[in-house]
Amino acid sequence: MFRRINVNLDVPAQVEALKWLLSKAFEAGTTLQGAVDWINTSRPISPDYGLNPIHHGMCTTACRILGVDPPEVFTLHPINSPAVLLFWRCLLAILTRCNSQDIRDFRWFGFSEPTMAVEVVQEALSESESEPGDLIVVDECDNVDSDHSEHFDEPSTSSGLPNVFDSHFHLDRTSKVIWPDNPNGHTVEELISVSKHGSSRPSVPVNVVGGVVVYSEPQNYPAADFQLDGPWKVAAGVHPKHYQKFSTAKRLALNGLLEHPKVAALGENGLDRTIPPGEWRAQELVFENVLRMSKPELPLVLHLRGPSGDTYGSDVTGRCQAIMRRVCRREQKIHVHCFTGLSQVVNDWLSDFPNTFFGVTAAVRRFDEEQKSGLRAIPRNRLLLETDAPYFPVGNVPYSTPAYLGDTAAFVAVYLNIGPCDLMQLTIRNAMTLYGS
């Protein structure tokens, strides 16, 4: 059922979820004010319910995001602002206009600190035991049971949680953040456990059935005979900001790592223009050196970042593509990590290298309209989900882990107009295509 939650929410994500819901519930072209008018006229909120004053700040923030002026006081009788549509009773009213599939999909949207299961079914739309002043939070999938969680392409497990594959995260860097005094020797399972049982748990709990552990700092390469239990794969490469550490000895070490049965990719490598311009050429030479170690069947993970102020990284991407056209074969498998670019960049990659996949992180929360168009330009069979842990935290802790990939999926699903369950399932299939089962 619906329950009281902390109102310290990710308001931009709540607003995007509301927009998604309105697109499903109303005819094309219906405005936010149109939805307000419909509730006030056809489904007025009972005077037994009122807004909690603690919601004023959240509604004010929502008004700013929506580009509307906030009233001095937000009211339900009548609703006097589109921001009030975030109130749970308003959401229930709107859900009565939706079909069952849209209701199931909407159950995924809600980004708050606590995690709690919520049953959103047709019967609950007319009768709920929620307390006045609550906001809706959802985190449970319409389940398809599976007895074998190691089957990555199954939508969910017998635990009731959907399966996900984190295509890019850093075990070494995340361990340093969580355990600064004792960062060595930790497992992926420990990272996930910390998030599942900590003070800021994922809003969308998931079953992480696989992922790619990235080692891109030459000084932190694992031993050539490293042991890694579980369904995890490894990518080893040279992060462009650590190019100076790539000595002859480290090149030999990397070459040895690429022979390890757990190593499934070369990366992350690439170009990063946030270093001084005088170092760019030296960085490019190291990148070319690493590219000559690539093989078409071994995925190449790319890190591409432009200088400060270059939101889309188009120039640095163009330079990378020019280098790769000289060095790599057209059929090279590629994973463009943390994609934030334009639709034309997607088209350019697929034109030059048809086996290119694009990883998307929780950075989508800050995408502008051009970047959202770039996201939508990615073919569905070329899309990957990644946390890039410890970066892009989504909770109230200063780091992420693979356990938060469900939250990332929910953010991405809003912009792609797809159910989060479907998104997680298709990105697992894509990861298997790129990295193997």
Interstrand relation of 163-169 and 263-272 (parallel, antiparallel or unpaired): unpaired
Residue 143 has pLDDT above 50, yes or no: no
**Residue 78 Cα distances to 44, 51, 117, 250, angstroms:** 7, 12, 31, 68
pLDDT band at 137 (very low <50, low <70, confident <90, very high): very low
By mean pLDDT, which of 55-64, 72-81, 126-135 is the weakest?
A: 126-135
108 and 190 part of one domain: no
* pLDDT (0 to 100) of residue 70: 92
The answer to whether residue 2 is domain-embedded is: no
Task: Read off the pLDDT of each residue in 249-270 and give the average, rounded to a whole number.
Answer: 98
The answer to whether residue 309 is domain-embedded is: yes
Three state DSSP letters for the chain: CCCCCCCCCCHHHHHHHHHHHHHHHCCCCCCHHHHHHHHHHHCCCCCCCCCCHHHHHHHHHHHHHHCCCCCCCCCECCECCHHHHHEHHHHHHHHCCCCHHHHHHHCCCCCCCCCCCCCCCHHHHCCCCCCCCCECCCCCCCCCCCCCCCCCCCCECCCCCEEEEEEEECHHHHHHHHCCCCCCCCCHHHHHHHHHHCCCCCCCCCEEEEEEEEECCHHHCCCCCCCCCCCEEEEECCCHHHHHHCCHHHHHHHHHHCCCCCEEEEEEEEEECCCCHHHHHHHHHHHHHHHCCCCCCCCEEEEEECCCCCCCCHHHHHHHHHHHHHHCCCCCCEEECCCCCCHHHHHHHHHHCCCEEEEECHHHHHCCHHHHHHHHHCCHHHEEECCCCCCCCCCCCCCCCHHHHHHHHHHHHHHHCCCHHHHHHHHHHHHHHHHCC
The answer to whether residue 137 is domain-embedded is: no
Question: Residue 162 forms beta bridges with which residues?
Answer: 156
Instruction: Please give the mean pLDDT across all residues of the chain.
Output: 86
282 and 196 part of one domain: yes
76 and 181 part of one domain: no
Dihedral angle at the C-alpha atoms of 143, 145, 146, 149, nearest 10 degrees? 40
- C-beta of residue 162 within 8 angstroms of C-beta of residue 206: yes
117 and 176 part of one domain: no
More confident residue, 15 or 353: 353
pLDDT band at 157 (very low <50, low <70, confident <90, very high): low
173 and 97 part of one domain: no
236 and 286 part of one domain: yes
The answer to whether residue 249 is domain-embedded is: yes
Q: What percent of the chain has pLDDT over 70?
A: 85
104 and 242 part of one domain: no
Quote the CA–CA distance of 180 and 325 in Å, as a whole number. 41
Domains in the chain, number: 2
* pLDDT (0 to 100) of residue 159: 61
The answer to whether residue 34 is domain-embedded is: yes
More confident residue, 155 or 426: 426
Task: Read off the pLDDT of each residue in 153-173 and give the average, rounded to a whole number.
Answer: 81
Residue 355 has pLDDT above 70, yes or no: yes
Task: Read off the pLDDT of each residue in 236-247 and give the average, rounded to a whole number.
Answer: 98
Token pair, residue 434, equals: 């790129």
> Which of 125, 144, 177 is where one domain is finished?
125
Q: What percent of the chain has pLDDT over 90?
A: 64
201 and 306 part of one domain: yes
Token pair, residue 322, equals: 């020019």
Token pair, residue 398, equals: 């200063």
Quote the CA–CA distance of 7 and 29 in Å, as a whole number. 30
* pLDDT (0 to 100) of residue 140: 41
pTM for the structure as a whole: 0.73
More confident residue, 318 or 203: 318
pLDDT tens digits for range 361-382: 999 988 999 999 999 999 999 9
Residue 345 has pLDDT above 50, yes or no: yes
Task: Read off the pLDDT of each residue in 205-212 and give the average, rounded to a whole number.
Answer: 96
* pLDDT (0 to 100) of residue 131: 33
- C-beta of residue 239 within 8 angstroms of C-beta of residue 303: yes
CATH number at residue 251: 3.20.20.140
175 and 98 part of one domain: no
Task: Read off the pLDDT of each residue in 177-206 and give the average, rounded to a whole number.
Answer: 92
Distance of CA 264 to the CA centre of its chain: 22
Show the domain range for 290. Answer: 163-435
Task: Read off the pLDDT of each residue in 82-92 and give the average, rounded to a whole number.
Answer: 89
The answer to whether residue 142 is domain-embedded is: no
The answer to whether residue 268 is domain-embedded is: yes
The answer to whether residue 68 is domain-embedded is: yes
Question: Residue 211 forms beta bridges with which residues?
Answer: 166, 232
